[in-house]
Amino acid sequence: MADELRCDSVWYGADVVTMRDGQYNIIADGAIAVREGVIVWIGMRAESENIVARRRTDFAGGIITPGLIDCHTHLVFGGDRSQEFEQRLNGVSYAEIAAQGGGILATVRATREATVEQLVSSARWRIERLLAEGVTTLEIKSGYGLDEASEIRMLQAIRQLAQQLPADVLATCLAAHAVPPEFNHHPDGWIDVICQRLLPTIKAEQLADAVDAFCEHLAFSPAQVSRVFARAQQLGLPVKLHAGQLSALGGSALAARFNALSADHLEYASESDVQAMAQHGTVAVLLPGAFYLLRETQLPPVELFRQYKVPMALASDANPGTSPALSLRLMLNMACTLFRLTPEEALAGVTLNGARALGLEKTHGSLECGKVASFVHWPLTRPAELVYWLGGQLPCQVIWRGEAQ
């Protein structure tokens, strides 16, 4: 380095796992220079002699990775469903639980009764578990209100969390998550409300960064989802889709036709779905937590994603019903053991490809000049150890936008 570089901080003394291009791309004994929360230089420590920094941190070993990205969560909700989990394990069917008033409608009732402050408080406890394991960016969906006021209250809670937490928090409107009880016999009526009133309101009040829907036989049809997505596009809101989790409805191809950021779950995605995703740049978000808890047997078509070069992201899908997961790192192991991803693919799934699934790949997801300085130091020898260890909170030092947390 010929010219002197002044910055706020420099971090060195560890191998830097940059995840540039979705691969480890390790800089041995690297250094990262940060100014105003952005990486301004990255390279080998031996080449950093001309960096002048107000603060210097020597990690004395270990590895540095990009901050982890949880690109699909449902962390804001009222109540919990641990009782139902116990009931199912004692032989009570989901249909029986639903007949007793349980299932998603139990969460809807609890969420509708909660204030914004209550939603923020309960979600914050859950989110802090994820942040302690190196998550620096996450997406949170609405979808448990299922009426205008409650959906808006959920999105307001997400925006409040974004102001309170040392993380980048994105909000997604998932009003088309399930048919509200008031619209049981007229689901198109709820789609009318979403398109005509709810989406324009959240756009005007800047309450959401994207719009999602659940395309499934027990939720909404491709035609209904298309109406929601068309309205979102008119309003300039990007879209993403729960697709192919329980059946093959062609939801992934539908999402791709709307240039969706991502299609998520995808156990039943077909080759034509994958081709469409590749053509339109739609990321495949795999959710092993729900696959595990529901004891699914239909694997997502990982080989097809590889063949057609569709980026694969991973997420916790943290929710009260099918994936009460508070460890994104555990999802890395599940993705490798259940879905046969490699450790490198898994880590890419919660870094660069997670950023792609949120439309943030230009600023997040890898350690490169010009990107936000959100990274994590781990006292480990190899990045595969992040995937290898089961359970237990690995010690780590989180740096979010250039500041140690």
Question: Which residues sit in the known binding site for N-formimidoyl-L-glutamate?
Answer: 144, 319, 321
Phi, psi values for residue 121, rounded to 5°: -65, -45
Residues 6+ positions from 246 with CB-CB distance below 8 Å = 216, 217, 218, 267, 268
Burial of residue 125 (CB within 10 Å: 0-12, 13-18, 19+) is exposed
282 token code pair: 């739609």
Annotated binding-site positions: 72, 74, 81, 144, 177, 242, 245, 317, 319, 321-322
C-beta separation of 83 from 297 below 8 A: no
Contact present, 225 and 241 (Cβ < 8 Å): yes
Enumerate the known binding-site residues for 4-imidazolone-5-propanoate: 81, 144, 177, 245, 322
Alpha helices, DSSP H only, in 165-270?
187-193, 199-204, 222-234, 251-257
Point out the annotated binding site for Fe(3+): 72, 74, 242, 317
Annotated binding site for Zn(2+): 72, 74, 242, 317
**Strands 375-378 vs 63-66: parallel, antiparallel or unpaired:** antiparallel
Three-state SS at 131 = helix
For 299-323, give one letter per residue: b (16+ CB within 10 A) or e. ebbbebbeebebbbbbbbbbbbbbb
Beta strands in 287-390 (DSSP E): 312-314, 375-378
CB within 8 Å of 206: residues ≥ 6 apart? none
Tokens read off for 309 = 């070069």
Asked whether the beta carbons of 134 and 393 are under 8 A apart, the reply is no
Contact 13, 40 (CB under 8 A): no
